[in-house]
Amino acid sequence: MRTADPTQAFAAKLALGYEFVGREKSLDGYISGPLTPTLGMRFAFYASDLKGWVDNNVPQGLLLSPKYDRVPRNKELAARLTVKWDPSEKFDARFKFSVNSIRGTGAGANQQQFYCPRGVSQFATNFPGYLNDCKADDNILHGDISTGLSSATSRYGDGVPALTQQQMLGSLELNWHVNDNLTATSVTGYYNATLDNLENYNDTYNPALFLPSRNRYRGDEYSEEVRLASSYDGPLNFLVGGIYTKSAARTGSNTYRNGATAPANLTSIVPVQLNNYYLVQHGTAWSVFGQGMWKVIPTVEFDLGARYSHESKELPVVRATPASGAGSQAPNPPLITTPDTEASWNNLSPEATLTWRPTERFTLFGSYKYGFLSGGFNAGSSTFSTSLKYNQQNIRGAEIGTKTLLLNDHLRINISAYDYVVTGLQIAQSIGTIQTIFNAGKAKIKGVEFDANYRVPWVDGLSIRGSAAYNRARYSVYTVSCYGGQTPAQGCNLFPNATGAFTTQNLAGQQVLRAPDWVGSLGAGYERPIGGGLKLGLSSDASFSGKYFTDAGNKPFAAMPSYWIVDATVRISDERDRWELALVGKNLLNTYYWVRSLDGIFTGSGTGTAGGINADQQGPISRGRELMLRVTLKTGG
């Protein structure tokens, strides 16, 4: 994927939108064109101001009453500059630089409790009058961070959850056309991301159970890639190259909980520190790759390639303070020794593809591929006495498919089938207040994908599109910690601890995390002139997802059931597309879904015993129905 380059003639676009449910104003557009006969520039921009689509129903006048009764609230600015220089047939260059900034409410602003095994929230313990509907909708009960905690440590500012996130991405591509058949390419890249997030990570306003945390992150990455590609008329061509990457990441967290237990006293808070850590990770990676393309006969091509990769990472700085007494903030945690502060990985990934193109309208291909994802170190831990390292992930398998044009090119059909085996599958799991990545032993993934697009010949301007995919992804070897309150009857029946409570479950044979068996879509678009120099456009798309698990422990009550998302747009414009007025509807069925879930901290009990009580489930919920009015103006192009 590559963003648009400068146009050969002057062109500009401006689009203004207003989304009624979230009260969101947006502005986007671009200015593009040549500066000289060999130099072109394009500037694209985006801005939005969101006032929130969820009602926060925490009563006012309480210790944790929120500043905003409607969230999330975000202001976003983004811009991208592209400069392309084409001075001769021998050389061309492309420079792209993007920035993005988001400021608003904390990352958990729309985190909701969507399942309560007792029928009522366990956050209501010792809090008369506490209410929670325990379902995914447009209502939350999410408390701010009290001024009492803010006075205990300056890290919590005014106690209002907030997030600031900034990103920069730059690339410089240089192409030297050595001759008509050889091109040498250099791509230099830089990426920077910073994040500062203050949030209450329990979806509650009970001062005894809320979980305030301040999290910071900065990452920098530099890369250099060089390639040499051929385009000979003969049967043999090649691509060779290498890439080098250097990265640095710094992250830290400071988390408290309130020591208060009685709701009668809502004027003060006694904070107890749960964690306080700061880590620095450095990484270096390089790889060399090559691919040969051989046209065995004019209709058959055989491609053979491989990539050798080496990656190393280290933790030069680990600072941490264990949980401490009331009021302790430990602003400068001491250096500590933790196991495995250096690690490296090597991998050789081959691939081969055989393609048959008997006509311009039919392609049959088959391939074998081997993939690699390096390991690393987790960004935090509840205890630093154990290793933070997780290992590499490998995938190997085969794919076969066809691409076809039929019915005088009105119908395009793509079909493919695949069968892959993944070893060391990397899975993110939330343990208490910390999210960690670990490796599952083995998983098998196989399935079939189909998509089609049909331009209806007897109805001018009408096209129909659709897709369907069956994906059977199952763990072959996978043992994982029991989820909160899981009983032996629910599968928590391995490795009892000193008290006799089981600690581990075996999920071999179960569905892989966030991998529904079925997904699909169906849509249509229609556009035609309606007279008076105007044209009408109609489009609608419906997408389907089957049931999938949303946490590493495959909690059945936290799984997302199957659902549909329906979008539709009505637009009117002039026949030359100089202006357009559109009404855009997204998620018209008002479906609320989640892709990630975690136990409500301090809920659930008796894990691994017959008397276990499952923890409440919470997570970030999708945006509901959106209705936007959008005006677009264009010129040139």
Task: Give the model confidence (pLDDT) of 542-551 as tens digits.
Answer: 999 999 999 9
8 Å CB contact between 301 and 293: yes
pLDDT band at 265 (very low <50, low <70, confident <90, very high): very low
Q: What is the DSSP letter of 578?
A: S
- Rounded to an integer, the average pLDDT of 276-296 is 96
Mapped onto helix, strand or coil, the DSSP state of residue 234 is coil
Residue 269: predicted pLDDT: 60
Indicate the pairing of strand 389-390 with strand 362-373.
unpaired
Cβ atoms within 10 Å of 297's Cβ, excluding its own: 8
Pick from 319, 323, 313: which is nearest to 338 by CA?
319
Of residues 36 and 330, which shows the higher confidence score?
36
Give the model's confidence band at 322: pLDDT under 50 very low, under 70 low, under 90 confident, else very high: low
Q: What is the pLDDT of residue 62?
A: 86
Closest CA to 512 of 553, 483, 459: 553
Instruction: Decide: 607 and 599 in contact? Cβ < 8 Å.
Output: no
Amino acid identity, position 268:
S
* Choice among 27-36, 212-221, 321-330 with the minimum mean pLDDT: 321-330
- Picking from 284, 279, 285, 278, the residue whose alpha carbon sits closest to that of residue 316 is 279
CA pair distance 280, 313, nearest whole angstrom: 11
Q: Which residues contact 4 (CB under 8 A, 6 or more apart)?
A: 30, 32, 42, 44, 82
pLDDT for the residue numbered 266? 47
| 74 touches 103 (CB < 8 A) | yes
Residue range 383-390: average pLDDT?
Answer: 88
Q: pLDDT tens-digit profile of 170-210?
A: 999 999 999 999 999 999 999 999 999 999 988 999 888 88
pLDDT tens digits for range 81-102: 999 999 999 999 999 999 999 9
Question: How far is it, in rounded angstroms, from Cα 66 to Cα 52?
Answer: 14
Rounded to the nearest angstrom, the gap between the alpha carbon of residue 90 and the centroid of all alpha carbons in its chain is 40
* pLDDT range class, residue 326, cuts 50, 70, 90: very low
Q: How far from each other are the two terminal CA atoms of the chain, in whole angstroms?
A: 21
- Give the three-class secondary structure for 122: helix
Check if the beta carbon of residue 253 is closer than 8 Å to that of residue 380. Answer: yes
Instruction: Report whether pLDDT(264) > 60.
Output: no
CA–CA separation, 551 vs 64, rounded Å? 29
Q: What pLDDT band is residue 327 in, cutting at 50, 70 and 90?
A: very low
Which pLDDT belongs to residue 305?
A: 98
How are beta strands 139-140 and 162-179 bridged, if at all? unpaired
Q: How confident is the model at residue 263 (pLDDT cuts 50, 70, 90)?
A: very low
Percent of all residues in the chain with a pLDDT value above 90, rounded to a whole number:
82
Whether omega for the bond prior to residue 529 falls within 30 degrees of 0, making it cis, is no
How far, in whole angstroms, is CA 232 from its chain's centroid? 40
pLDDT at 385 over 90: no
Q: What is the mean pLDDT of residues 26-52?
A: 98
Q: Band the pLDDT of 262: cuts 50, 70, 90.
A: very low
What pLDDT, in 10s, does the model give residues 336-376? Answer: 888 999 999 999 999 999 999 999 999 999 999 999 999 99
Q: For position 506, what pLDDT does the model report?
A: 97
Q: Which of 232, 211, 230, 225 is nearest to 275 (CA)?
A: 211
- Bridge-based pairing of strands 54-56 and 139-140 is parallel
Q: Is the pLDDT of residue 329 over 90?
A: no
Q: Distance between CA atoms of 30 and 620, rounded to whole angstroms?
A: 33
Structure-token pair, residue 196 = 């500062």
Q: Domain 11-636 is of which CATH architecture?
A: Beta Barrel (2.40)
DSSP state of 546: -
* Greater model confidence, 153 or 503: 503
Closest CA to 57 of 162, 145, 139, 146: 139
pLDDT at 361: 97
Which of the listed ranges 60-69, 206-215, 566-575 does the model predict with the highest average pLDDT?
566-575
Which of 191, 106, 187, 180 shows the shortest CA–CA distance to 143?
106
What is the predicted pLDDT for the residue at 13? 97
Mean pLDDT, rounded, for 395-419: 98
Answer for the pair 54, 110: CB distance below 8 angstroms, yes or no. yes
Q: Where are the domains of the chain?
A: 11-636
Q: What are the tens digits of pLDDT across the range 206-247?
A: 888 888 888 999 999 999 999 999 999 999 999 999 999 999
Q: Could you read off the pLDDT of 135-166 as tens digits, one per residue?
A: 999 999 999 987 666 555 667 778 899 999 99
Do 569 and 497 meet the contact criterion of CB atoms below 8 Å apart? no
When pLDDT is cut at 50, 70 and 90, the band that residue 125 belongs to is: confident
Task: Determine the Cα angle at 158 with ends 155 and 163, to 5°.
Answer: 70
What integer pLDDT is reported at residue 325 of this predicted model? 47
Alpha-helical segments (H) within 112-241 = 147-152
**What's the chain's average pLDDT?**
93
Q: Which of 149, 167, 163, 269 is nearest to 215 (CA)?
A: 163
d(CA 119, CA 130): 13
| pLDDT(25) > 90 | yes
Least confident piece of the model among 416-425, 427-436, 523-532, 566-575 = 427-436
- Count the neighbouring beta carbons within 10 Å of the beta carbon of residue 235: 13
Identify any residues that bridge with 564 across adjacent strands, giving them in sequence order.
Answer: 544
**pLDDT exceeds 80 at position 564:** yes
